[in-house]
Amino acid sequence: MATVHYRKRLSEYLDTLPQEALITTGAVTAYIAEKTGEPEEKVRKAVNVNLARLEQEGIISRIVRGVYCKRIKTLFGDYVPSKDTLYGRWLVLDGDRVIGYETGPSLMNRLGLISQMPRKKWIATNNYTLPVPKNVEIEIRKPRIPVTHENYKYLQILDIIEDMDRAPIDAAAPEEILREKSKSAGLLPDRMILFARKFYPTKTLERTVDVMLGGLEL
């Protein structure tokens, strides 16, 4: 099939994306294959060639192999969204599906548990084997279990509880902060404890019980 036809389909696909959306070879290939009725293995080579040409023309910018973003035109020149932000988004979302979450020191700082601002953002992701590009300040962690929309908020809290002895926590009442954050997020104490019992060390389970049930009297 003529290259110009692939280029037209590719342009159509890019027009459907928000300005700061990620452009992946896989998603483009699937889109064009669906529109043309051709097998993906036949389409992929032409997609790679056309994405490379768009990069040379300054229309898109490469983040890592197979992942691009749009170069946004402004009155002050081209603007390329933060690679940290875009790559981080790729690690936590696959389309509308949650596959990761912020964790570690960066989450603790955001929740007010530590005042020290970490240099990197920490992300637990199902794609934990992916390499982190140069100049991207992200630390990847393997989650205890595969991440889903239903469990990621529980795993965020449990990761913090597990790391409390190793982190430079300087909040006056960290357990109370975690308890309030869990409550405001609609997380169920019994479900939190169940996750801790099934997937985390015994010490984490014991501390989870203290955090979730703290303040209760017999």
Residue 217 lies in a domain: no
Average of pLDDT values for 160-187? 93
Residues 138 and 204 in one domain: yes
Residues 68 and 106 in one domain: no
Q: In this predicted model, what pLDDT tens digit does every residue of 47-74 receive, in sequence order?
A: 988 999 988 888 888 877 888 888 777 6
Domain count, the chain: 2
Give me the pLDDT at residue 7, please: 82
Residues 102 and 183 in one domain: yes
Residue 129 lies in a domain: yes
Residues 55 and 75 in one domain: yes
Question: Over 90: is that where the pLDDT of 175 sits?
Answer: yes
Residue 91 lies in a domain: yes
Residue 16 lies in a domain: yes
Residues 89 and 31 in one domain: no
Of 59, 79, 99, the one marking the end of a domain is 79
Residues 54 and 142 in one domain: no
Residues 100 and 168 in one domain: yes
Q: In this predicted model, what pLDDT tens digit does every residue of 113-140 receive, in sequence order?
A: 999 888 899 999 999 998 887 788 999 9
Output the CA angle 102-96-144, nearest 5 degrees.
Answer: 40
Average of pLDDT values for 19-42? 85
Give me the pLDDT at residue 218, please: 41
Whole-number percent of the chain with pLDDT over 70: 93
Question: Over 70: is that where the pLDDT of 83 sits?
Answer: yes
Q: Which of 48, 21, 20, 54 is nearest to 32 (CA)?
A: 48
Of 60, 79, 98, the one marking the end of a domain is 79
Residue 38 lies in a domain: yes
Residue 218 lies in a domain: no
Residues 94 and 162 in one domain: yes
Give me the pLDDT at residue 163, please: 94
Question: Over 70: is that where the pLDDT of 4 sits?
Answer: no
Residues 102 and 205 in one domain: yes
Residues 65 and 91 in one domain: no
Question: Over 70: is that where the pLDDT of 88 sits?
Answer: yes
Domain of 195 in residue numbering reads as 83-212
Q: Write 209-215 long-range contacts (CB < 8 A, 24+).
A: 210/175, 211/161, 211/175, 211/178, 211/179, 211/182, 212/179, 212/182, 213/189, 214/175, 214/176, 214/179, 215/179
Residues 102 and 142 in one domain: yes
> What distances in angstroms separate CA 123 from CA 16, 129, 134, one per listed residue?
28, 12, 16
Quote the CA–CA distance of 144 and 38 in Å, as a whole number: 39
Residues 132 and 155 in one domain: yes
Output the CA angle 122-128-27, nearest 5 degrees.
Answer: 105
Average of pLDDT values for 147-163? 97
Residue 179 lies in a domain: yes
